[in-house]
Chain A
Amino acid sequence: MTSQASVQRGSDHEVVLEVKGLKVSFHTYLGEVKALDGVDFEVKRGEVLGLVGESGCGKTVTALAIGGLLSDNAKVEAGQILLEGKDLLKETKDELRQTRLREVSFVFQDPMTFINPVLSVGSQIAEILESDKGFQAELVEYRIAELARAESKAGLTPAEVEEKRSLEGLKDKKLSKRSLRRLAKLRTLDYMRTVRLPDPERVYNMYPFELSGGMRQRVMIAMALVRRPKVLLADEITTALDVTVQAQVLRLLADLRGKIDASVVLITHDLGVVSEICDRVVVMYAGNVVEIADVEELFANPMHPYTQGLLASIPRPDVFTKEIKSISGSVPNLISPPSGCRFHPRCPKRFERCPLVKPPLIEVEPGHRVACLLYGG
């Protein structure tokens, strides 16, 4: 049923990444943590998909599983992760590394701890381009195009003319290490400008501790974009930042949409962020996807009781309420999760079948899927 639905949608928008029935568990001292229990969703080309849920619901685990970056004690029990049809779970370690290098890139939560403290930020972007021969042709082409643009605008200096000629003459020959470095740096500086880092040439040689939180987050975004990935997984990228800086980073992301061809998966617990820039939303609860819908649809017509509770808990300035509503209870222990629907102990609308049957994700309205027994299954 679900697969039929996805084929149908595939006709209007091409699917880049599809996660099917993903189950992941962690082995710990206390027991087996069933972190993901059948996660299904897809990412369409060029869209911004919000992945929301409380902390501990498996958003980050999902993202790390896509990149093959789960820790050693994690085990993928079942499922498929299809990137343009190829199953990432079947890839070897090196193929996965290539995938991370070229196709799927990450931006993480805390820019303070995620950028290496003892290396200059520029070199940490440029090293990506220097690390693989695959980027060489791209770098050369890019530089030639840049020089050509400059030529048509204001003409070139003799040195630049010479550079262009030698680059054009290079064709498939190997670039020397020095010129590879130089081209990688030029490309890096360009991307640092794209993410609006001030004074890129100076910032290139600076260390993470010398930058502000917003600048560090921009550096990480530049790292993610410089290899032109197909999918960008952004994990709580605004959480560690001040509110004003958050807004700047979100605006940057919105502006970049036109310039990059990557689909963005925005992982967040902040529904405000989702409403601002996402096209579609996947709501997760305790390792399950509970609802998928377009963003307007979801906010206007939340179907799953969990989503309803989540939306009701956002304080709204336009509606006067005496107290902010919250969902009673807390996130369940995933070592021994509730049977049937994992949300049933907290659900205000539960009935006798909820603890018995695990609800499937069914399409209730076109493009709007929900996993709740109230809607069938």
Chain B
Amino acid sequence: MKLYEYVLRRLALLVFVLLALAALIFYITRGLLPPAYALTQYVTPRMTSAERLILAQNLGVATSSCPSYAAFATSAKGCIVPLWGQFFGWLKTVLSGNWGYTVLPGYVAGTETTWNVFWVRFPYTAELAIGGTILTIAIAIPLGIVSATHANKAPDHASRVVAISGYSIPQFWFGYILQVVFVLYVALNGRGLLPVGGPLPTSCAICFANPGSVVTRTGFPVIDAILSGNFPYFWDSIVGLILPTVTLALTTIGALTRILRSSMVDALHQDYILLARSKGLRDRVVVYRHALRNALLPAITIAGLILAFLLGGVVVIEYVFDFPGVGQAAVLASTSFDLNFLELYVLVTAVIIVLTNLVVDVLYAKLDPRIRY
């Protein structure tokens, strides 16, 4: 089979998974409990008529027959469209990019679409996740290799304790501890070391007091700063990422280190390593060319899982570090019952994860000549 055929087959599977997931999410948010329940729970007399209208639309309620709170309250059943009809209607609507208006706090009802709110917030989350990925790879791979080449010796034990602690630490707690430490550092030294709270802190020793502003083009603070040529802003947005990214990556660093160590130990015990050593090759060549190539294969298959973990981890990280990304908004969306936002978040994340898995599969086939799709 050709590569493109393989990719096409995987894409078909991918579409299936995404559709199934959409159905599942739709069932959870609209079918698990009747919208009437949601309406009685969340539509209150205090709401403005505009807010009520938006919420009703978002919940798949035919608004024409239920124009007012009084109508919801008296005959909520009459406002409900059957579930299957709702699903296909919903799918058609959301695929055209119409995700309704947001009811998140801080937005005047009916002014901001869910779609816009999501994509304005998304770049912050993406920067965190990308930073977390880079950090995970940059730390876990060397740590895993050192562990494996010194298996059952001091460096291995040390890296094991570090790795296991990494995925045993409650991130929400560690985030606060980091902030306390760095704020205490300010208190003790009169100036800060790293910024705490928010992506663009206003004062700290290695930040610029007034980074100025940038023209928003991509929405990614780091990239926009580069495009605007605003170095102070660029620097600050990088520095602001440090503490959240470190906290975010702890778990995945630990997990990847352990997986890489185990596959590397396995590789180092293979016969081909004995042959490579018998050829008089340097240890460096034996480890990196002969063992690592093989050991990375099982490690890259979990790339999708790692990304999923990072994209989920941002929820708590953004909450703790007051980061205006989609993760923080997910917590708010839950309290304000903005189901559209949650649906959009879940589906966008799923698309990213399944596409990553596809790339990983193709990469795997490229790296392992034995795989013939």
Contact = CB atoms under 8 A, between A and B. Distances in A.
Is there direct touching of A and B in the complex, by C-beta distance under 8 Å? Answer: yes
Interface of A: 67, 69, 97-102, 105-106, 108, 110, 113-120, 127-128, 131-132, 207, 209, 220, 223, 227
Contacts of B369: 117-118, 120, 207, 209
Interface in B270-292: 270-272, 274-282, 285, 289-290
A118 B367 contact: yes
B368 interface: yes
Interface of B: 270-272, 274-282, 285, 289-290, 293-294, 297, 367-370
B370 A97 contact: no
Contacts of B294: 116-118
A113 B270 contact: yes
B277 A118 contact: no
A117 B282 contact: no
Contact of A131 (B272, B274, B281): B281
Given A116-B290, A119-B293, A207-B370, A131 B280 contact: yes
Contacts of B289: 119, 127
26 contacts: A69-B274, A97-B280, A99-B280, A100-B279, A101-B279, A101-B281, A102-B280, A105-B278, A105-B279, A106-B278, A108-B278, A113-B270, A113-B271, A114-B271, A115-B275, A116-B275, A116-B276, A116-B290, A116-B293, A118-B297, A119-B289, A119-B293, A120-B369, A127-B279, A127-B289, A132-B280
Nearest to B272: A116
5 nearest A-B residue pairs (beta carbon): A101-B280, A100-B280, A106-B278, A113-B271, A116-B272
A87 B369 CA distance: 42
A67 B281 CA distance: 13
A128 B274 CA distance: 14
B326 to A, nearest CB: 39
A100 B281 CA distance: 9
A150 B281 CA distance: 33
A96 B318 CA distance: 55
Contacts of A116: 272, 275-276, 290, 293-294
Contacts of B282: 97, 131
Nearest to A68: B277
Contacts of B370: 117-118, 207, 209
A12 B139 CA distance: 61
A364 B276 CA distance: 42
B85 to A, nearest CB: 53
A105 B370 CA distance: 28
Contacts of A98: 280
A227 B294 CA distance: 26
A223 B279 contact: yes
Nearest to B278: A106
Contacts of B280: 97-102, 128, 131-132, 227
A295 B279 CA distance: 30
A110 B293 contact: no
Contacts of B274: 69, 108, 114
A97 B285 CA distance: 12
A119 B297 CA distance: 13
